[in-house]
Structure 1
């Protein structure tokens, strides 16, 4: 038997070993490594030390794998020259490409993904020794690569800086793995995930948009202001003068209670207004939280790049981004009131799925998620209070609306009468 066949099998096996090892090591999560340490303390520590220097480990594996593939190709060329001297060179190239892909790449890496922990435990000592033996070569290669990467980065990507997003993604993955293994529960995982993502959150993502801000004109009569505040139940209200863009102060309800006269306008009591706290919409939520603490504010007016009012944000909004919705004792009210099995009044922001569950219906929308959105999608306009619309067997009567949104809808189940169907 020609010994070259033996060498070809040996080099392909080495390529198989290298590819399998590479995938095994680099598919291990930190939690999986810790799990290996518990079962195999010495091997686990060895794996951890190898993975802690990923570039060094990768260069070691690539040196060995490249060596194996080159010598496998040279050996195959000798075999072809001996047994198939007239064979076209392209046949050799295609044959070796196929063999390297099957035995040196696809098969070992696919297998390694399934048995990564077992493989890593078995091969760790081999790669630890190879790293020591190949240290001079590894050093030369790493220095060469470092210089080459610096040159290419400077030439083609001069303004690109290393991003922390990968680190954030890694931490999120660790949190998911921790939940999966029962180390932390779902709520703890959600809070930890929110904390990690909170650092990159800008306040425009959390703010209440301008069209949802409850504010008062300085020309509002005190008694009227009190009634509006009772209805909306806010403790801090922006006050504007001449136009809504011109916020002149923040009215605290506790300060309003100190006023004796109720027939005067708010403008008469400007001295009780607190100085508004303005912040640009690009500010990070993390910084705003610190600013709230240092300035002793709980509400900020968000301005856009042109100085116009973009929205409003409170400390509660910021905290909800971390720990989820903060339930205020005055907020505990349902978004609907069910009169009977065939009549219900809902707020426009009620979720469609919740409405279907409560009212035993099956309405669907390809775009909207709320009842108001569903109705707007169907009628293609913002309705006025009192308008009635019939959709299938449901009658929608607008019981509350602003110029730019639907606030409340009275919905009644009726018999399907084709002649009265509007849409």
Structure 2
């Protein structure tokens, strides 16, 4: 027998209501079917919510942002959030022999990876997994930055909230 998406979703919902399928399992099944319908623009952290490090900022500015926002990944921008020049993983930053903006820009900041806001969630997930990416920069049709997506964002679309209510330090604003 072959079942349609709608039939599987109805069976999962009915199973959840009867108690034969747990609520979390039902949520996962529903999320799985919705996943490939979503586009990056639907779930990206918006540019106005991103925590960024400025290439022209001071080391004190960077460390203040890192310690106050507590993310693990940061877009590094020059002049505006439309000019993302790299991505900083704070593990790479704190591993530098001499911490500072200049040293980080030379050795720790990696090339940004850009994706269109129209990319489907399943395609993006596959690409991020294959390329070992933890954060991508989302661009609109004109090349302007609309936001960012982390691997955690994509996982939360599938399995729901990963950390019990608060946005994950890696996810929000990266």
| TM-score normalised by the chain length of structure 1 | 0.37
Write the distance in 1 (CA, Å) between the matches of 2:167 and 2:34: 26
Query: Which whole-Å deviations, capped at 9, do the CAs of 1:113-144 have from their partners, x for residues lacking one?
Result: xxxxxxxxxxxxxxxxxxxxxxxxxxxxxxxx
SS of the residue aligned with 1:302? strand
Per-residue CA distance 1:167-189 (angstroms, 9 max, x = gap): 43332212112223332121211
Match of 1:255 in 2: 92
Q: Where in structure 2 are the equivalents of 1:18-417 lying within 5 Å?
A: 167-262=4-99, 266-267=101-102, 269-271=104-106, 272-327=108-163
Runs of 4+ in 1 over 6 A off after TM superposition: none
Q: Which has the higher contact order (CA 8 A, sep 6+)?
A: 2
When the two chains are superposed, the root-mean-square deviation of aligned CA atoms in Å is 2.4
8 Å Cα contact 2:96-2:103 kept in structure 1: no
| Partner deviation per Cα, 1:128-170 (whole Å, 9 max, x = no partner) | xxxxxxxxxxxxxxxxxxxxxxxxxxxxxxxxxxxxxxx4333
**Residues matched between the structures, number:** 166
- In terms of fraction of residues, the more helix-rich structure is 1
1: distance between equivalents of 2:34 and 2:145?
26
| 2: CA distance, partners of 1:331 / 1:189 | 22
Which ranges in structure 1 are unaligned for 5 or more consecutive residues? 1-47, 53-166, 333-423
> Which residue is 2:172 aligned to?
none
Q: Structure 2: state its 5+ residue gaps.
A: 169-174
Structure 2 length-normalised TM: 0.86
SS in 2 for 1:248: strand
* CA radius of gyration, larger in: 1
What is the rounded CA distance, in whole Å, between the counterparts of 1:228 and 1:245 in structure 2? 19
Query: Whose strand fraction is larger, Structure 1's or Structure 2's?
Result: 2
